[in-house]
Chain A
């Protein structure tokens, strides 16, 4: 495993192009494009203000930089660095900006979610979509890029509009049976749309592509409901994480629950492996205390950590959330399927330093990773069943069915890893700190 040197970035804006060749980062108002393998700077663009959001187009030829305060979006071309494009939303303001799947349209959501403006880079035409819904995930593109589902709210009722991304023709518009729609997501095969209600009511609705309601699922009444929803990459399973600390799996044939995973505070299962991160301070010999070593540095004071396997029963530390606050820190907030749909990784918010890995074939718990501090981010390798996670310290943790490893990130000045993302080939990882980023190249053999 090799680590690159540390580069500057701001706002955690660092993305790899969809074809995997380039790495774009934002430093204040500058956009820096590097080559992924050599990390040489290929392009440098300057925007008019501090960049709030940055994204690649699907064909890796264009990058959009949005500056929400100024209401501006600037688009840069990789092929022609002199090409420029500036979209000014005017006095209406800008809260979010994204590419369309064909890479030639930009969808801007205005302030107060008054409307969604669709700008075409081919024809300079503008279209408007009114009454978009303000929610956790109000718009989603299907994976093949053909359709876009947008949540709308009119007269205190929720609707979903399905647009054909080719020409933005409204294909379907139907009312949903939700009280307060909180999110929607296409299944990876693009045929089913999952729509879920806000946490005040547990309701997950499944609509077919042509707007028919296929099924409605509700596990219980009254208590706080759905917290997170995700599809498995094969579209076979829909995993629903809720505030009662359970994950329920629905199957795609009958849309009924086939199993539920509970996050218990005391693990008794003998089949699950519990990895506990144990820190140990490295003993420093007196001859090591040369000036050179001290300047190199914080590695001297960094704690080494390794994983120990704990035999069952294991107690998981639980933090009770404040009952008076809204959106309490309890329940399953993060779900992620591995790329082969074999494993599901979950995080329960009142056991924030623990990541649970479930085997979908056996429908049982396979591994539990207990860290020393709260887990900030975890993501599966896009090619193989390997999970990378970080907890805000200077280490990177990797789990695979063969085992678990904790790697110290050798960065000068100590890079506190706040989030990470995999390169699309699964050969490297991008680690983001507060203001820094670092690339980690995996060994080519299976590790």
Chain B
């Protein structure tokens, strides 16, 4: 149909009028507006449609329309009423138009429906979108809530843990207290039982005593009263004595306090001395050699501190005089603290300087420093070596000088002369010692001999006395002659017996000693067997009771 359109605009005015007439005839009033709006919206097309059918091309138009109707599926055909007539068979044409209108109406309704559907769908879409956004907001909110709840849950868990640990400690404490209570309770019950047992015994004894009633009197039975241990007579207990006791007691207490105070004072003085020494040394360390690379203010403070220190050193002498003065003690302590602080600061500075120096290790400056350091070391080592050689040379020269002036003998003599005096003294002392030892030995021998002699004489005397008494006694009887002979025998027998007895007693002790020690380890070096021990002597002199 495109060709028709191009020829359209030529005969528009005529076509318009015709088409509009046709449209007015067939249009139903209900659709008028729609169609009018449709038609008004397509004014051009009607112009074209007007161009479609003209007086000339009616059969072509008719056939074309028939074709189109066929294509649409409509059966009615349009015929021309007469060949070459401008009119048409109105019935098929009207049917065709009616069917076309039906089709059109159906299309319009479906269009409407579609539009309605589309509206509905768009509104549902809007609704759904709104829902979606609302739900998203809700979701976010709930997520936030969830995280908040997580947080609170965590905090509560933490609190639970701390409370649990508190509970555990409390439980432990309770257990400990319980065990303490248990041990105390067992101790108490033990003590109570003991006391009860004792009370029971007491009651028993009391009842026994009440029954017995024969009270054994307590008494002391001494052969003879003893003297006091210190040999003096015992005093009456008087008021003066009691006061004397009080005085004694206080005296001993005071002595003790004074002694402890003395030791404390000494200790105090020593410690003060040590502190002052420390202070002096600290001042010494801090003051002279400090290089002070910093400003003048540092120097000033240093000097002031020095002068302070010196002032305090001056104070020290005064301090030593009044040692017990609290003020002086505080002063000393404060000055020590000050010096110590300075020393510490100095050390810290040195430390930082050293660390700085270390950090500059990579720089060239460091190499130079080390080199100079090493040069210094070398120089010092050389100096030391030189000094050593010098000293050695001096020593040698001195030795040579000494040696050349004297020959060997006198040199040896000189070496000896220092010790000569001591040797002489020692010899003298040894001699004296030897002499004394000999004297002592001699005296001891004398003493023992005297003791033995005395013992022997005593025994002899006893024998004599015994025999004399016996004689006296026997003289009173008629059997004198026989007795006298036997008594003299007896006497001699007795005297003979005494000698070996003495010797036996003196030799008995070493035997006993050896029997004590032989089965076991090395015997203890004891007194020699030839001279009797002092205990034996005492025994023989009856200063000690005899062994049985």
Complex CA distance for A222 and B111, rounded to whole angstroms: 103
Question: Which residues of the partner chain A approach B187 to less than 8 Å between Cβ atoms?
Answer: 199-200, 224, 326-327
A314 within 8 A of B: no
Q: Whose C-beta in chain B lies nearest to the C-beta of A121?
A: B226
Q: Whose C-beta in chain B lies nearest to the C-beta of A145?
A: B229
Rounded to whole Å, the gap between the CB of A107 and the closest CB of chain B is: 13
B350 within 8 A of A: no
Complex CA distance for A166 and B242, rounded to whole angstroms: 11
Whether the pair A325, B186 counts as a contact (CB closer than 8 A) is: yes
Q: Whose C-beta in chain A lies nearest to the C-beta of B189?
A: A326
Question: Which residues of the partner chain A approach B184 to less than 8 Å between Cβ atoms?
Answer: 200, 222, 224
A1 within 8 A of B: yes
A1-B521, A82-B223 in contact; A224/B252 too (CB < 8 A)?
Answer: no
A38-B513, A59-B229, A169-B237 in contact; A83/B224 too (CB < 8 A)?
Answer: yes
Complex CA distance for A105 and B242, rounded to whole angstroms: 20
A40-B512, A90-B218, A92-B218 in contact; A3/B521 too (CB < 8 A)?
Answer: yes
Whether the pair B229, A103 counts as a contact (CB closer than 8 A) is: yes
Complex CA distance for A224 and B179, rounded to whole angstroms: 11
Whether the pair B223, A117 counts as a contact (CB closer than 8 A) is: no
Complex CA distance for A117 and B219, rounded to whole angstroms: 11
- Residue in A42, A88, A122, A199 whose CB lies within 8 Å of B227: A122
Complex CA distance for A132 and B520, rounded to whole angstroms: 50
Complex CA distance for A64 and B202, rounded to whole angstroms: 27
A104 within 8 A of B: yes
Whether the pair A190, B186 counts as a contact (CB closer than 8 A) is: no
Whether the pair A104, B249 counts as a contact (CB closer than 8 A) is: no
Task: Annotate A67-106 by CB proximity to B: 1 below 8 A, 0 otherwise.
Answer: 0000000000000011111111111110000000011100
- Residue in A38, A44, A124 whose CB lies within 8 Å of B509: A38
Complex CA distance for A223 and B215, rounded to whole angstroms: 47
- Residue in A5, A89, A199, A441 whose CB lies within 8 Å of B218: A89
B545 within 8 A of A: yes
Question: Which residues of the partner chain A approach B24 to less than 8 Å between Cβ atoms?
Answer: none
Whether the pair A323, B183 counts as a contact (CB closer than 8 A) is: yes
B523 within 8 A of A: yes
Rounded to whole Å, the gap between the CB of B124 and the closest CB of chain A is: 82
Whether the pair A441, B524 counts as a contact (CB closer than 8 A) is: yes
Whether the pair A123, B249 counts as a contact (CB closer than 8 A) is: no
Whether the pair A190, B252 counts as a contact (CB closer than 8 A) is: yes
Whether the pair A410, B205 counts as a contact (CB closer than 8 A) is: no
A112-B205, A441-B524 in contact; A88/B218 too (CB < 8 A)?
Answer: yes
B28 within 8 A of A: no
Whether the pair B535, A35 counts as a contact (CB closer than 8 A) is: yes
Q: Whose C-beta in chain B lies nearest to the C-beta of A189?
A: B256
Rounded to whole Å, the gap between the CB of A122 and the closest CB of chain B is: 5
Question: Which residues of the partner chain B approach A166 to less than 8 Å between Cβ atoms?
Answer: 245
A167-B237, A222-B180, A325-B186 in contact; A102/B249 too (CB < 8 A)?
Answer: no
B253 within 8 A of A: yes
Complex CA distance for A361 and B321, rounded to whole angstroms: 32
- Residue in B253, B260, B524 whose CB lies within 8 Å of A210: B253
B241 within 8 A of A: yes
A interface, by DSSP: helix, strand, loop or mixed? Answer: loop
Chain A 1-34 residues near chain B, CB threshold 8 A: 1-5
A219 within 8 A of B: no
Rounded to whole Å, the gap between the CB of A151 and the closest CB of chain B is: 16
Whether the pair B220, A124 counts as a contact (CB closer than 8 A) is: yes
Question: Which residues of the partner chain B approach A35 to less than 8 Å between Cβ atoms?
Answer: 535
Question: Which residues of the partner chain A approach B289 to less than 8 Å between Cβ atoms?
Answer: none
B216 within 8 A of A: yes
B461 within 8 A of A: no
A316 within 8 A of B: no
Q: Whose C-beta in chain A lies nearest to the C-beta of B220?
A: A87
- Residue in B177, B190, B260, B516 whose CB lies within 8 Å of A253: B260
Instruction: Kindly name the residue among B180, B190, B520 whose own CB sees the greatest number of chain A CB atoms within 10 A.
Output: B520
Complex CA distance for A29 and B221, rounded to whole angstroms: 19
Rounded to whole Å, the gap between the CB of A325 and the closest CB of chain B is: 6
Complex CA distance for A328 and B218, rounded to whole angstroms: 40
A294 within 8 A of B: no
Question: Which residues of the partner chain A approach B205 to less than 8 Å between Cβ atoms?
Answer: 93, 111-112
Task: Annotate B171-196 by CB proximity to A: 1 below 8 A, 0 otherwise.
Answer: 00000010110111011111100000
Question: Which residues of the partner chain B approach A89 to less than 8 Å between Cβ atoms?
Answer: 218
- Residue in A38, A43, A86, A104 whose CB lies within 8 Å of B229: A104
B548 within 8 A of A: yes
Rounded to whole Å, the gap between the CB of B522 and the closest CB of chain A is: 7
Whether the pair B220, A85 counts as a contact (CB closer than 8 A) is: yes
Instruction: Kindly name the residue among A4, A91, A327 whose own CB sees the greatest number of chain B CB atoms within 10 A.
Output: A91
B408 within 8 A of A: no
- Residue in A3, A191, A200, A252 whose CB lies within 8 Å of B253: A191
Instruction: Kindly name the residue among A3, A39, A117, A166 whose own CB sees the greatest number of chain B CB atoms within 10 A.
Output: A166
Complex CA distance for A190 and B250, rounded to whole angstroms: 12
Whether the pair A323, B182 counts as a contact (CB closer than 8 A) is: yes
- Residue in A81, A171, A441 whose CB lies within 8 Å of B245: A171
B34 within 8 A of A: no
Complex CA distance for A85 and B264, rounded to whole angstroms: 50
B235 within 8 A of A: yes
Q: List 6 A-B contacts (CB under 8 A).
A: A2-B520, A2-B521, A42-B545, A112-B202, A171-B245, A324-B182
A: residues with CB less than 8 A from B are 1-5, 35, 38-44, 58-59, 81-93, 102-104, 111-112, 117, 119, 121-124, 126, 146-147, 164, 166-167, 169, 171, 189-191, 199-200, 208-210, 222-224, 252-253, 323-328, 410, 441
The 3 closest A-B pairs by CB, nearest first: A326-B190, A90-B218, A90-B216
